[in-house]
Structure 1
Amino acid sequence: MINTIIFDLGAVLIDWNPHYLYSKVFQEEEMRIFLETVCTPAWNEEQDGGRPLQEATDLLVAQFPEHEANIRLFYDRWAEMLQGEIPGMVELLQSIKASGKYKLYALTNWSAETFPIAQERFEFLGWFDGIVVSGVEKDRKPFASFYQTLLNRYSIQPDEALFIDDNLRNIKAAEQLGIHAIHFTHVDALKPQLIEYGIPVETV
């Protein structure tokens, strides 16, 4: 019996993507190369894990001085990477919350320094019974210790919880801890999967 639903935030409820900023700066191919070789996902994950933004920026500027101006844009104009809500997902979250049957939590890889920007912009972040932010904890998915922080803090039984994330790596990590998990791709695919777990959702 599922009594707890745990949501990832980025790419599940919130549309965050560096492309939204850097498409204003580069042509498509230049942007792709820059984000694959300079401001990479691996570099960004270290900030999610607690590395200070200034330290991260200085590190890249020293490594790629020719890209200094565009490196500094990453956090100077970070808010421009937040496009909005993932279509249909906030309505789904609201309907689940309105049922009153489930505890709702968020487990997110997110810098502690940028997360307050999202909190100000997205009212639904206040609907959760708790949010565990990687940058605050200085730990992150897919490490088991990060999931365990959520389980311990809110006394969640793994076999009574369902985790929703767009990253298959994170899904597999949750499953290894005995947490039920759904690999998110689209709201229309998610709804029937939730119904299979006995979670009533609007299917229209």
Structure 2
Amino acid sequence: MNEIRHIVFDIGRVLIHYDPDLPFSRLIPDNTERSWFLENVCTAEWNIEQDRGRSWREAEDLLIALHPDHAENIRNFRRYWHEMVPHAYDDSVAIMETLIDKGHDVTMLTNFASDTFADARRRFPFLNRPRGVTVSADIGMIKPDRGIYEHHAASFGLAPEATLFIDDSQKNVDGAKAAGWHAVLFQNAKTLEADLERFGISR
């Protein structure tokens, strides 16, 4: 196994919690109606395009034209986005910060809209600690597209064979591996600690 010299963290559901259901459990109390709305209107497929760089205004206008009766809740997705990220995963953050303190090269690679990432960075100061970050919306590419991994490696001088990526999505883990990186699926802090040990990364 090659020596790991670079560690790359995803953010959502690895370092901070993310759940669109949180504000909508209040906005649409009926479970069936809420599920329908999130599965048919403000879908994950719709939201990922903001991570690719589409503006919220354009995204909202598109959906409101298709679902005019849901205009208010379509706008509420961005309006109450802050409620979707209520807290950090302190144990995961502690692992990342310990790696940084020990001198490991740590960066972040995330699918995130530019404005909501700026909001997250203000709320969670630890997101400023790694050497740098690639935000998908800023470059118009999203994981698991191979190009975003290659862009991140080139931007931060990472040797793919010496890079370990940590993400909660299997398809993003597979995308990193296809780009020549090592990668592990994040489940919780305990399994992450075991993965780091397996790769010979001291904490």
TM-score past 0.5 threshold? yes
**Residue of structure 2 equivalent to 1:83:** 86
Distance 1:199 1:32 in 2: 42
% same residue: 37
Among residues 170, 180, 183, which one is paired with 1:181 in the alignment? 183
**Residue of structure 2 equivalent to 1:53:** 56
Distance 1:116 1:130 in 2: 14
Q: Give secondary structure in 2 for the equivalent of 1:193.
A: helix
Of 66-75 and 82-91, deviating more is: 82-91
The superposition leaves residues 155-175 of structure 1 with CA deviations (integer Å, 9 ceiling, x where unpaired) of: 110011000000000000100
**Residue of structure 2 equivalent to 1:132:** 134
Amino acid at match of 1:155: G
Amino acid at match of 1:115: F
Distance 1:55 1:31 in 2: 23
The superposition leaves residues 169-189 of structure 1 with CA deviations (integer Å, 9 ceiling, x where unpaired) of: 000010011100000111111
Distance 1:82 1:23 in 2: 14
Distance 1:96 1:76 in 2: 35
**Residue of structure 1 equivalent to 2:41:** 38
Aligned residues: 200
Q: Gaps spanning 5+ residues in structure 2: where?
A: none
Distance 1:33 1:185 in 2: 28
Establish whether residue 66 from structure 1 lines up as the match of residue 66 from structure 2.
Answer: no
Q: Give secondary structure in 1 for the equivalent of 2:62.
A: helix
Amino acid at match of 2:63: L
Runs of 4+ displaced beyond 3 Å: none
Amino acid at match of 2:179: L
The answer as to whether partners of 1:103 and 1:129 remain within 8 angstroms in 2 is: yes
1:80 to partner: Cα distance:
1.4
Establish whether residue 141 from structure 1 lines up as the match of residue 143 from structure 2.
Answer: yes
1:113 to partner: Cα distance:
1.9
Q: Give secondary structure in 1 for the equivalent of 2:86.
A: strand
Q: CA RMSD in A?
A: 0.9
Amino acid at match of 2:135: V
Distance 1:158 1:105 in 2: 13
Where does 1:114-125 land on structure 2 (aligned, <5 Å)? 114-125=116-127
**Residue of structure 2 equivalent to 1:159:** 161
1:87 to partner: Cα distance:
4.0
Distance 1:128 1:32 in 2: 36
Amino acid at match of 1:33: W
Distance 1:185 1:28 in 2: 27
Q: Give secondary structure in 2 for the equivalent of 1:11.
A: coil
Distance 2:73 2:172 in 1: 30
